[in-house]
A and B are shown apart, each in its own frame.
Chain A
C-alpha cells in the first residue's frame, strides 16, 4: 500500500519535473528538473527490477544530466531568445502538458487492461514521460531541448520496458544509450557553441 502511494508520488514528481522541463527556459532549472525526473524513473523501475539495477538507471541518468549540465555551464553565455508568437509560448506549452496529462489519465487504464501486471503508476509515469518528451521534440528545435526530449522519451520507455524485460544485458545497453545520448548532446552543444556566441 505504502509502495503504491510512493509510486503515485513518483508519478506526481515526474509530472512536475517534465512540465518544468517544458516550461523552463533557464538551463539551471532544466538540469534540476532532469535530475529530479530520474529519481521518479528510479522508483518506478524499482517496482520491477532489483534495487541495484534500478539504481544503475538513476546513476546513468544523472551522469547524462551532469554531462549536459557541465557543457551548458561552459557555453551558455546567451539566454535563449524569447519566443514571439503564441503557439510556442509558455501558455501553449502548459496547455499541451495538460493535454498529455489528460491523455495519460485516459490511456493508462486501457494499457493496464491490455498488459496486466505492470501497475497503473508505472504505466502512467511512462506514458507521461513519452508524451512530454515527444512534445519537446515537436515544439522545439534547440539542441539542448532536443536532447532533453530524447532523454525524456527514453526514460518513459525504460520505465515500461523494465516491467517487460529484466535482462542485465538490456539494462546495460539501455544505460549505454542513455549515457551516449547525454554525451552526444554535450558534443553537439559544444560544436554549436561558437555560432551561438556570435549570434
Chain B
C-alpha cells in the first residue's frame, strides 16, 4: 500500500461512493469516520517503515506513480495529514448538525483528496492544476442545483481559474531564474507572475469581493469549509515556493510585499467587519483577515515565520468551523433576511449555544485572551513589532475592527425588546458539536502546547524554510 493511495485515492473513491447514500446521518458517519481513520493512521502508522502487527508486517510506501510523474507523501507530511483529516473529521461530523451533509461530505472528501494530491505531486508546480480541479469540484457543493448561481460563485470560479495559469507560468520562469540568477528582468517577471497567481488563489486584497458575496448566497457551513481548506493548502503551496527558491525567501522586497499585503487584508477585513450588518459577511471579512495573518506570518524572520504560520492553522480552522456551524444553525430560524442583524436580535435567548459559538469564534479571531486565536496573534504581533512599530499599530487597528464586529454581534444577539425566557432550540447533535468546538477553542487558548507534538514536526515538510 502507498501513502498517496491511502490519503489521496481512498478519500476520492469513498467520496464518490457516498453519493449513493441517502440518509444524512449515515453520510455524516461515513465521512467523519473515514477522515478520523485517515487522521488516526497518519498519527500511528509511520510512512516508509515496516509496522509489525503480530505475524503481519504492514508498510506504507511514500510514493506512487501517475502518468510518468510521482505523488510523494514523505514521513514529514504525516503531521499535516493528521491536522487536515482531523479537522475534516470535525467538519464532516458537524455537517448533519448544519443540515448540509449531502453537499459537504461527498464533495468534501473528494476536494480534500485532491488538495492532498496537490501537496504530494512532484514536481510541486503542478499542484496549481490539482487545486483548480478541486475548485471545479467545489462549485456544485457551494451552488446547489435548485439555486440560481449568484455573483459570488461566478467570481469565485473566475478568480480561482485565472490564478492557475499565472502560477504555472511563474513556475516555468522561476526555473529560468534559477539557471541565470543575475537576470533581473526575468526575476521581476517571475515574481510578478507568482504574486498575481497567489493574489487570485488566496483572494488577496482587492480580489476578495467574492467571499462576502458567497457567504450571503450559499450555506455558511459549506463556504466555511472552503474558506478553511483552500487558503490553508494554498499557503502551504506558497511556502513550497519560498522553500524551493532561496532568492525568493531572502528577497527583502518580496517579504515587505507580503507583509504590506497581509496588513492591508487585516486592516480592511477588520474595518469592514466592524461595520457589517450581516453575520455571514462579517464571517467573510474575518476569514479575509485570517488570510492576512498568514501572509504577515510568512513575511516575518525566517526562524519564526514557519512556526507562527503553522500555529495559526489549527486555531483558524477551529474558529471558522464553529462560526460556520453556528451560522448554519441560526440560518434555520425562519425570517425573510436570514443572518442579518435586523432579524437576529435576541436570538441568544433561543439559540444560546449557537450564539455563544458565534461570539467566541469572532472573539478568537480578534485575538481575545483565553481563546485559540490569542497565542498566534500575540506571537504575530510581537514578530511584527520587531520589524516595524507602525505596522504593529496598524495590526492592532485591524484586530480592534474585528473585535468591534464581535461586540456588535454580541449586542445584537442578546438585545431583546421583551423579557423572554431562555430556551434552547438547538438539537442534541448541534449542542454536542458546538460544545466540543467551544471546549477546543478554550483548550487551544489556555494550553496551546497541546498541539506541540504535531506542530513542531510540521516545518519538516520543508527543506529550508524555518531552519
Contact = CB atoms under 8 A, between A and B. Distances in A.
Interface of A: 114, 137, 141, 143, 146, 150, 153-154, 157, 161, 164-165, 167-170, 172-174, 176-177, 180-181, 183-184, 187-188, 190-192, 194-195
B136 A167 contact: no
Contacts, number: 85
Contacts of B129: 170, 173-174, 176-177
Given A191-B143, A192-B149, 14 more contacts: A137-B158, A141-B151, A141-B154, A143-B154, A146-B158, A150-B157, A150-B161, A157-B165, A157-B169, A161-B169, A169-B67, A181-B161, A188-B139, A192-B148
Give the top 3 A-B pairs by smallest Cβ distance, nearest first. Answer: A180-B136, A173-B129, A157-B165
Contacts of A154: 161, 165
Contacts of B189: 114
Contacts of A180: 133, 136-137
Nearest to A165: B172
B157 to A, nearest CB: 7
B23 interface: no
B290 interface: no
Given A146-B157, A153-B165, A157-B165, A173 B126 contact: yes
Contact of B66 (A150, A169, A176, A195): A169
A175 to B, nearest CB: 10
A176 B133 contact: yes
A150 B145 CA distance: 21
Nearest to A160: B169
Contact of A172 (B67, B132, B168, B185): B67
B54 interface: no
22 contacts: A143-B154, A146-B154, A150-B157, A157-B165, A157-B169, A161-B172, A164-B172, A169-B66, A169-B68, A173-B133, A176-B129, A177-B129, A177-B133, A180-B136, A180-B137, A184-B139, A184-B157, A187-B140, A188-B139, A191-B147, A192-B148, A194-B148
A181 B169 CA distance: 20
B153 interface: yes
Nearest to A196: B148
A143 B143 CA distance: 13
B146 interface: yes
B143 A169 contact: no
Interface string B115-146: 00000010000100110110011011001111
**A146, A167, A177 pick with most chain B CB within 10 angstroms:** A177
A168 B126 CA distance: 12
B161 to A, nearest CB: 5
Contacts of A167: 67-69, 126
Contacts of A192: 148-149
A153 B133 CA distance: 16
B162 interface: yes
Contacts of B158: 137, 146, 150
A191 B130 CA distance: 25
A187 B144 CA distance: 9
A164 B66 CA distance: 20
A143 B149 CA distance: 9
B19 to A, nearest CB: 14
A190 B68 contact: no
Contact of B145 (A168, A183, A191): A191
Contacts of B133: 173, 176-177, 180
Contact of B136 (A146, A161, A181, A190): A181
B145 A187 contact: yes
**A137, A184, A194 pick with most chain B CB within 10 angstroms:** A184
A177 B136 contact: yes
A14 to B, nearest CB: 17
Contacts of B165: 153-154, 157, 161
